[in-house]
Structure 1
Amino acid sequence: MKNRQLSLDDEMFHANIKPEYWVNQSTSLINMAQNLTVTERRIIYSLIALIQPDDGDFKTYVLSVKDLAQLIGYKGKSFYNQVEKAIDGIMKKQITIYSTDGKQRVVDKIQWVQQATYFHGNGQVKIKLSDALAEYLLNLEKFTKYRLINVLRLNSEYSWRIYEFLKEDEWKSRSIIQNKTNKTWKSHRIMYVEELRQLLDVPDDTLKLMKHFRATVLEKAKKELNEKTDIEFDYEVHSKKGRRIESFIFYINPSQQFQDLQTGVDSTMEQVQSLVNVLIKNGVRGDAAIKLAGKYHYDYLRANIRYVMTSTSAKRNHAGYIISAIEENYAGYEGPVEKTEKDPFYNLILGQVEQRLRQTNERDNQSLERIVKAHERMLMENPDADIKYIVENRKSSVISELDKIESVRNQQNHPSLSADDISNQTIKDIFNEWQAQIIDVY
């Protein structure tokens, strides 16, 4: 039997990854040894977050390679090859499950990804999770859930895994008072060092000294989780065997940042959207505005844009002046210039702003082109019609639609349509006349 050729004609679902999506997985999957890197986990768990509670089986998802590159933090001209290499790495990774059938030891090995197809011409990748994972991700009875936003910004795979271990027990009302601080915690979990090392996939010849294990794994996780997620934790030695630490007890509380994380998506989206809008409104092309927002620190951009807006210097090329001010720091901003930390959360938000801008432009172009095509049909169906009247009527109808588009964009906090956004030359000419009549008040 020949293998069926894969194509974009197969039944697929175009994925739009959002940081507020829920990750649902069985507790047994959490407590299996895994050897994914942070990069690989960001891809896999973004796919898992796309699974809906009522899904009967795994869907095949089509994702933009550019979106995945933003999620992972890859930039530059080679980001497509970097994403392909990351997915290839995932396809080689396995989950190993040890069990027994009562007579013998059984070892199951499950791959994360069943299939990945790259469409280089379309800049897309088609991915399907392994069907063997279905029992751990679909129709779940005992499961742990968390929002994707809580883990996307973690920079250590150990931090991510410890977060999952603690989320598994966070909801349980097992109040306890910590010995060294006398602080009351909502829940707790005891984990043996040997168990931790196995579940975190720490090789026997790595981090052998406990002080190194605590610094690299536990202390880093504590700092990251307390700063970036919806839980906070502390830990201390639970039991020893002689001088050797045998187990730790982890104390767990919901974090005050939970509410901040819930509102963080909307707040960041509003800030990025506002910044991109200002750049576009002052003549910067949409793609250039997105690029600037992705490269420079938000406060640095805002300071230099404000400098230009309050400058008394008259500049003919306002957009060029803004870009120069940003690139050369005319404002003399003393804080961070470029974003140094790879922030998948911010990158996803920026990607959504870019997608929103693209979709809005496509929608408005289609509505304008329908008007032009309708008047073209009028001429074709009525050869004796007054051409001058139809042309004037077309112009009037397009201008009326432009007024409507501008009003809707203002209501929805979109930047105004620009000539660069319009593909049809006839519409662009009418747009330029319409724009010349508008008084632009900043």
Structure 2
Amino acid sequence: MEAKMKKNRDKEIVYKNYKDALIVKGNNLIMSRYNLSLAEQRLILQVVSMISKDDEDFKNYTIRVADYLDLINSNSPNTYQKIKEFAETLLKKPLHIPQDDGGFFVCNWFAGLKYEPKKGVLVCSFHPNLKPYLLQLKKNFTSYKLKNILSLSSKYSIRLYEILKRYEGMGVAFFDLNEFRELLSIPESYFYKNIKQRILKPLQREFKNYTDISFDFEEIKSNKRIVAIKFTIKSNLKTFNNKKQEDIDNQGSLDVKVLELFDLLPNKKRTMTAQKIFSYYLKSYDVNYIRKQIEYVNKQNPNNYFAYLKRAIEEDYADYKKVEIEIMRQQKIFEKLLFNLEKERKHSIEVALDKEKSSIFKEYMGLLNDEDKKELLDGYLQKAKDLYPDVDEKSFEMEFKIEQLIIEDIISKNEIYQIRLSKAKERAQKQADIEYEQSRISLYNKLKSGLL
């Protein structure tokens, strides 16, 4: 009886402790495109948390089905049928992973999912093509505690948390509105006001209450249209009464960050001293800040490497704080260029319409004989003189004004010309929108690359 109770206690400890497990994912996997439910994301992340940093290959990972039954969207009262539907649906949902060369890679999350009803577990096997994004990660990865996402209540919550966590070190992140829709798989039926009220604002509250980061967001506009979102990401670490418990909770994440920094050191400097220095400074400084200081020190090649590195971290030799100033400068340039793009878009539509009106005028005048043409021009000359008394009647300006008056009248009285002008406007707007979008995406990519 005592052995049975001990076994149950051990199970309970394992169940509680998995919340403190660490999620480590490659940044390209973080920024991939997929559309998963809340239950599907939680399952995948729990399985990811079971990967050890020393694993060289995937294993079969066992998950308790009872943890997911309430989340699975199924009308079936039968557990077997619920799990079957859940597994089949998940295996039909691929992910599109961006590649460094600008391409993408498509695969499934799992090679297979096996339900064992007697044990009440689901055995999960990751797709082998995901190895570069989940195993033996040394750089370009993001890590966080599983417990940060367990209280999040929607599929958008987890996606946005991971994406902002990826940019936490920079403190800011910019997303084109269309890109943001793709990353979170937001329906096309959502206008920006829906995104703001149903996603961004509720998630602000959730993050503040349940995760280790919080965020503010700012709308970037072009001619009153919202075209991008700027996120400001802040630490939201809570103060624990028991400092020892806090150290235990942070240790897993700390170890990964120490290893990440350790790999940046010259081979001869990879010592226990380095690990102790990183463990100490990571309690006060962001990992990306320390990374920049290491890169700076490596270029200087000082005689006393670690003494110089300590001073660099404490005094910001790498001028890391200038990064945010540079980001703000580039954002202002971006907004100004967007404003100019919008002006160009409107101007190109106006030019196309003027060209079509001129064509209509020439066509109409060509249908008149000389006598009718002279009578028409004389009549509109008098009308123009009355409207514009300061304009010389023999000037090109007066000639232009007469032409405009005639065009307005003949179009207003001729339905065929009205339809023709309407179609010309539609074509011009479509072409202008295409050119505007191409230029805007180019500007946005330059902003993200810091090239403005």
TM value normalised by structure 2: 0.46
Structure number, greater radius of gyration = 2
TM value normalised by structure 1: 0.47
